[in-house]
Amino acid sequence: MHTVLDTPVQYLKGIGPKRAKAFARAGINTVEDLLYYFPRRYVDRTQFSQIADLKEGDTQTIRAKVLSRSFRQSFYRRPFSVMEITVGDESGKINCVWFNQPYLKEYFPVGEELVLYGKVERYLDRLQMSVPEFEIVASDEPESLSIGRIVPVYTLPEGITQRTLRQLIKQVLDEQLPRIHDALPYGIRTRHNLLNLAKSILNIHFPEDLELQKQAYTRLAFEEFFIFQLPLILRKLQKKEKRGIAHRVEGDLIDNFLSGLSFKLTAAQAKVLLEIKSDMVKPQPMQRLLQGDVGSGKTVVAMAAAMMAIQGGYQAAFMAPTEILAKQHYGKISSELGVGSSEQGRIKIGLLTSGLNKKEKDKIYQESKDGKIDLVIGTHALLEENVGFKNLGLVVIDEQHKFGVGQRALLPKKGLSPDILIMTATPIPRTLAITLYGDLDISVINELPPGRLPIETLHFAQGNKKAAYAIARDNLKQGGQVYII
């Protein structure tokens, strides 16, 4: 349904088709676009500085009259121009200069009153403002939008002045604010102490004070994230309604695995494992993001989840972004389980990477399809069409951000709504994680195992690799580990 907010800006007073093209290049096509074209910063013009009080290095706003003007072309650099004016107030005078802006020679008649904003610098033992922002004080302006208030500063469409844009936005605000529909329900605004939409838009453009500007910004940011989250939450609810696998999370296999570990799970690992158990026992597919620093023990938690799937007769797939990482996981998991892919009566694991020859790959393909392999660890090779599973019940994806969205979706499709556990070591603040992964539940391992030293990351330029190798040798001699990217 067409509304007034959908009206093209060219039909606003003072715009027309020619100016509308400049607005369109700035992304402003409709009245609504103009209302949401927010200032890039603000200048507090409730107080003006006296010229006599200006000091070198200050960035200040002054109000003064043009006393003299000059425009000249450089004899040394062409084309290059210098526009210089002297302005003064009752306390003194100062020079202002602009470089290579020839159109300014039509500006600044003597006697005209200006508002200037800029940094005060020293040149030839005198103070001046270099390339200050300026506005002409119009005596016929009924309500000043540029003086005596907190003034918005916009990124300007070509050929449009700050004064013109402010007047245009104020005109639209006066006409359209009563017609704006607030998408946030009253209950949500009250619960989070948010302004209504009309007051927010008014105070983001022409704030009564800086506190209201901050409240307006908070309200508009909240709405943007709220609307962004809605489809993610709906998608999450739709996934919850799908029929999945109710895994048997208690049993000898998981108990023996945990009791056989050479270390005790940290409190954070135990907490995360309980969250995963709670998901996997339900008949809906698990969709969980597991975040934790390198060395925090994410892999052990993922192995425990795999044991819970396997003890119920299901298979698990573990996908890593590189062949090196896949082999590391394979070696670590094999060591912890004390298993081999050929042992009978035990958990059978297989490694699938693009580096295997055809015979080795074909063997893994067949054993996976026949259900003879309980846990398949691999790289992107797991996504190949030849890879199938007899009864895939759990998918673990390590360093998920290194896979495309389409890639991440391919592996779960090789089973009937398997549980999904996504792991990342990338530090993600909780609010950002909810935004990016709004359709996932989030678990965080926020502590390192006892005795685990913090990992030091160093960056060396290619020409300084000898120093890098020297540090690597020293760490290796001391029994440490080094990972070179």
Q: pLDDT at position 1, please?
A: 45
Tell me how far apart the alpha carbons of residues 380 and 262 are, in angstroms, rounded to a whole number. Answer: 31
Q: Report the Cα–Cα distance between both ends of the chain, in Å, rounded.
A: 55
Span 296-313, mean pLDDT?
91
List the CATH number of the domain containing 34.
1.10.150
Q: pLDDT at position 427, please?
A: 67
Residues 301 and 410 in one domain: yes
CA dihedral defined by 436, 439, 443, 444, rounded to 10 degrees? 0
Residues 272 and 388 in one domain: yes
Tell me how far apart the alpha carbons of residues 95 and 120 are, in angstroms, rounded to a whole number. Answer: 10
Q: Higher pLDDT residue, 191 or 428?
A: 191
Span 3-12, mean pLDDT?
82
Residues 301 and 378 in one domain: yes
DSSP assignment string, 132-157: -EEEE--TT-SS-SSSSSEEEE-PPP
Q: pLDDT at position 77, please?
A: 64
- Residue 381 corresponds to which amino acid? A
**Band of the pLDDT at 472, cuts 50, 70, 90?**
confident
Distances (CA, A) of 367 to 72, 300, 326, 361, 387: 84, 25, 19, 10, 10
Distances (CA, A) of 262 to 85, 265, 299, 349, 485: 79, 10, 14, 20, 30
Task: Let me know if residue 430 belongs to a domain.
Answer: yes
Contact 467, 460 (CB under 8 A): yes
Residues 329 and 224 in one domain: no
Query: Into how many domains does the chain fold?
Result: 5
Q: Give 413's contacts (C-beta < 8 A, 6+ positions apart).
A: none
**Band of the pLDDT at 432, cuts 50, 70, 90?**
low
Q: Is the pTM of this model over 0.85?
A: no
Task: Let me know if residue 246 belongs to a domain.
Answer: no
Residues 96 and 106 in one domain: yes
Tell me how far apart the alpha carbons of residues 379 and 353 are, in angstroms, rounded to a whole number. Answer: 6
Residues 196 and 334 in one domain: no
Tell me how far apart the alpha carbons of residues 400 and 403 are, in angstroms, rounded to a whole number. Answer: 6
Q: pLDDT at position 176, please?
A: 87
Task: Let me know if residue 220 belongs to a domain.
Answer: yes
Task: Let me know if residue 247 belongs to a domain.
Answer: no
Q: Higher pLDDT residue, 116 or 77?
A: 116
Tell me how far apart the alpha carbons of residues 143 and 150 are, in angstroms, rounded to a whole number. Answer: 13
Span 126-144, mean pLDDT?
76
Tell me how far apart the alpha carbons of residues 236 and 437 are, in angstroms, rounded to a whole number. Answer: 10
Tell me how far apart the alpha carbons of residues 291 and 316 are, in angstroms, rounded to a whole number. Answer: 20
Q: Is 254 helix (H, G, I), strand (E, B) or coil?
A: helix
Give the per-residue SS3 of 78-89. Answer: CCCEEEEEEEEE
Tell me how far apart the alpha carbons of residues 364 and 326 are, in angstroms, rounded to a whole number. Answer: 15
DSSP assignment string, 17-57: HHHHHHHHHTT--BHHHHHT---SEEEE-SS---GGG--TT
Task: Let me know if residue 363 belongs to a domain.
Answer: yes
Task: Let me know if residue 395 belongs to a domain.
Answer: yes
Range of the domain at 483: 456-485
Tell me how far apart the alpha carbons of residues 324 and 379 are, in angstroms, rounded to a whole number. Answer: 9
**Band of the pLDDT at 406, cuts 50, 70, 90?**
low
Q: Say if residue 424's pLDDT is above 60.
A: yes
Tell me how far apart the alpha carbons of residues 315 and 372 are, in angstroms, rounded to a whole number. Answer: 9
CA within 13 Å, CB half, 475:
16
Helix (H) or strand (E) holding 423: strand 419-424
Q: Is 404 helix (H, G, I), strand (E, B) or coil?
A: coil
**Band of the pLDDT at 293, cuts 50, 70, 90?**
confident
**Band of the pLDDT at 258, cuts 50, 70, 90?**
confident
**Band of the pLDDT at 401, cuts 50, 70, 90?**
low
Residues 440 and 461 in one domain: no
Q: pLDDT at position 343, please?
A: 39
pLDDT per residue as tens digits for the range 311-359: 999 999 999 888 888 898 888 888 877 644 433 347 899 999 888 888 9
Q: pLDDT at position 344, please?
A: 35
Residues 163 and 24 in one domain: yes
DSSP 454: P
Residues 204 and 141 in one domain: no
Tell me how far apart the alpha carbons of residues 403 and 320 are, in angstroms, rounded to a whole number. Answer: 9
* Ranges 28-32, 358-362, 424-428: which has the least confidence: 424-428
List the CATH number of the domain containing 346.
3.40.50.300
Residues 291 and 436 in one domain: yes
pLDDT per residue as tens digits for the range 144-165: 677 778 889 999 888 888 888 9
Residues 108 and 20 in one domain: no
CA within 13 Å, CB half, 44:
8
Residues 135 and 56 in one domain: yes
Tell me how far apart the alpha carbons of residues 104 and 72 are, in angstroms, rounded to a whole number. Answer: 11
List the CATH number of the domain containing 134.
2.40.50.140
DSSP 479: T
pLDDT per residue as tens digits for the range 313-324: 999 999 988 888
